[in-house]
A and B are shown apart, each in its own frame.
Chain A
Amino acid sequence: MTTIERTRTAEERSSGTSVWRTIRLFWADSLIALVVKRLFAGVATVLVVLAVVFLISNVIGDPAVLMLPPEATAEQVEALRTELGLDRPLFVQFAESFSGWITGDFGVSTWQGMPALPLAIESFAKTLYLAEVTLIVAVPLGVIFGLAAGRRPNSWVDRLITSISALGVSMPTFWLGLLLILVFAVTLRWFPTNGYGGLHYAVLPACAMALLPLGRIAQITRSSVADEMGKLYVTAARTRGLAEGAIGRQHVLRNAAIPVLTLIGSEVASLLNGIVIIEVIFAWPGIGSMLITSIQQRDLPLITASVAVIAAVAVLVNLIVDLAYLFIDPKVRR
């Protein structure tokens, strides 16, 4: 007994309790270095996306023609080209834009007459609000439904949830949005048909957007939980006398979370796609509406700034998901 005691304290002195050991492992694997590396890669990705936007608008099309109404004369186009410096070599223009992107200067919005980036960021804040409400609905409900179904495969709960999620996955978002407006705004008058304001305004667009990720998250959670429940380590835990609830909490949840987490990451990313159409339908003044309007207004700086914000957010979401893996899946930690 004393030998065990001694070994244990010596061991504790050298490597600490398990919490500290985990933190130490993180440092050893240098989490900071990883994050910095990924951030650089992310910035590079955003710059490449912006270069593509630049290429499309400057090489394939003529920004001066784009910015002017269709009936503009050749002289007007020429005048604008000179004014905006579009008559200079493309390389010089690109270098100028590029240094602007790096310093966060995307030029002045031709439509609003204000710096483009703050405008884009401000409208993104509104998108973020809508996305948050959507995720607050979709993620917990999706996970709860998936857990309930996966714990007892082929029970009536499972069948009910499986069919509802199949419905959610197959319903087009814009159509659901219109349906919700018709039922809850026009007929029942519970919620406003469109516009921006408090939670009241966010409910319908958020629900319209939530159904698809909710259904997908429920499906993946269900199959992931059912898979894990059938694995040998669950039976082994049972032979050690663990109660079903404890097996679920201590073993199944974390294993089942790995594919669910991947999905949530990609759902957040695709939410950014779907949100454009929903913002237009519900007249929600977010980044999606901003992008559409800036395209309609032929406002190149604002288009570029909006794309930059969207790309940066996508990169960040991916980084956060990858970091979450570190906490859940020890294999990623090496």
Chain B
Amino acid sequence: MTSPAMTASEPVPFLSIEDLHVRFDSARGVVHAVRGVNMRVGKGERLGIVGESGSGKSVTAHTILRLMPDAQISGRIMMGDKDLVSASSSEMRGIRGRKIGMVFQDPMTSLDPVRTIGSQVVEAGRHRGLGRREARAEAIDLLGSLGIPRPSDRFDEYPHHFSGGMRQRVVIAAALMGAPELLIADEPTTALDVRLQARLLDMLWVLSQERDMSVMLVSHDLALVAGFADRVAVMYAGAVQESAQVDRLFDRPAHPYTDGLISSAPRLDAYDHPPLVPIPGSPPPPSVRMAGCRFAPRCPRAAALCREEEPALLPLADQSDHRSACHFAEQVQAHGPIPAASVASTSHNG
């Protein structure tokens, strides 16, 4: 696979995932959860990853830190000139926390219930070589900047003294203590109420700006991602279908799946918009083999070509930063995903 040429508008990639495949052996055969993911995160860039449930977002995120012992991984995950797919487990230990940190969805179970929150927040700092007092001071500082009131009093309290929202701040602080250059956040706010979600992401946005820290934000919520990310990657059936700068992606989607996602997303100003149009059908299970585009069975625009040949994720003709894995990317971008019949008539007219 040839790597597409870099352009001036694109930041230097901190992490670049190339043709990543992840398989699991299960009782009912091989589950091919991630099939050829291509993705890059720039230094200091905030990348949003969206897609329906089961599209392989979490598996991709976990694979970067090699957190799934039963996963069979192929492809490359390049951080500088180091490939994380082939890194030894002691190399991975050095990368975890210090280069790449991670925050999980469930704040209630991602903290050890029998240790004080302070001792857990401090860990990554100690791992990075801070002294006991230094680490404590920095942790208290960090907890305060994430909006935990009286952090020095709460430092020695246990997780069960904290609400869900407060715990998630603690978890984020624990990840940031390692001063990672990239923070992977897998639906970090899904368990929280809507107002809290936005507040927490605002804080995370500020912190990433201050520290020039890249963030990979995995989420179901398009609106949340639209407000947070610089660039968005849309995943479907184990692969990235489209990626672009956030405004371009939402204004001029170049993949019928992205278009479907956008028109099925609930909006706050829904009264002057057409009603929600959910994408009909459901994604193919990851154990199924099929030829052609995996979205074709649900796609309003699918043509014969789509059922025969799997499209690659390629830059659009005039925008190297906007990539789409659709045979008809330019047409979709220009005219929207029109049903196949009217497409035929349009092409006759044109």
Contacts and interface: CB of A to CB of B under 8 A. Distances in A.
Interface of A: 4-5, 7-8, 11, 15, 18, 21-22, 231-233, 235-243, 250-251, 254-255, 258, 328-331
Most buried by B among A5, A7, A239, A255: A239
Given A241-B98, A241-B124, A242-B127, A8 B115 contact: no
The 3 closest A-B pairs by CB, nearest first: A241-B97, A239-B102, A11-B152
A251 B140 contact: no
Given A241-B96, A331-B158, A236 B104 contact: yes
A330 B111 contact: no
Interface of B: 65, 67, 93-98, 101-102, 104, 106, 109-116, 118, 120, 123-124, 127-128, 133, 136-137, 140-141, 152-153, 156, 158, 160, 171, 174-175, 177-178
A241 B129 CA distance: 12
A314 B135 CA distance: 46
Given A241-B124, A241-B127, 12 more contacts: A7-B140, A7-B152, A8-B140, A11-B152, A18-B116, A18-B118, A235-B104, A236-B104, A236-B111, A240-B101, A241-B95, A243-B93
A136 B180 CA distance: 46
Given A232-B109, A238-B67, A239-B65, A330 B137 contact: no
B121 to A, nearest CB: 9
A233 B112 contact: yes
B153 A15 contact: yes
A172 to B, nearest CB: 37
B112 A251 contact: yes
A232 B107 CA distance: 9
A233 B111 contact: yes
A270 B156 CA distance: 38
Contacts of A8: 133, 136-137, 140, 152
Given A11-B152, A11-B153, A254-B115, A240 B140 contact: no
Given A5-B137, A239-B65, A329 B124 contact: no
Contacts of A233: 109-113
B113 A240 contact: no
Given A4-B141, A251-B115, A237 B123 contact: yes
B344 to A, nearest CB: 51
Contacts of A4: 137, 140-141
Nearest to B65: A239
Nearest to A235: B67
A236 B110 contact: yes
A239 B66 CA distance: 9
A331 B175 CA distance: 25
Contact of A236 (B133, B141, B171): B171
A167 B317 CA distance: 71
B115 A250 contact: yes
Given A8-B140, A330-B158, A241 B93 contact: yes
Given A8-B152, A240-B96, A255 B140 contact: no
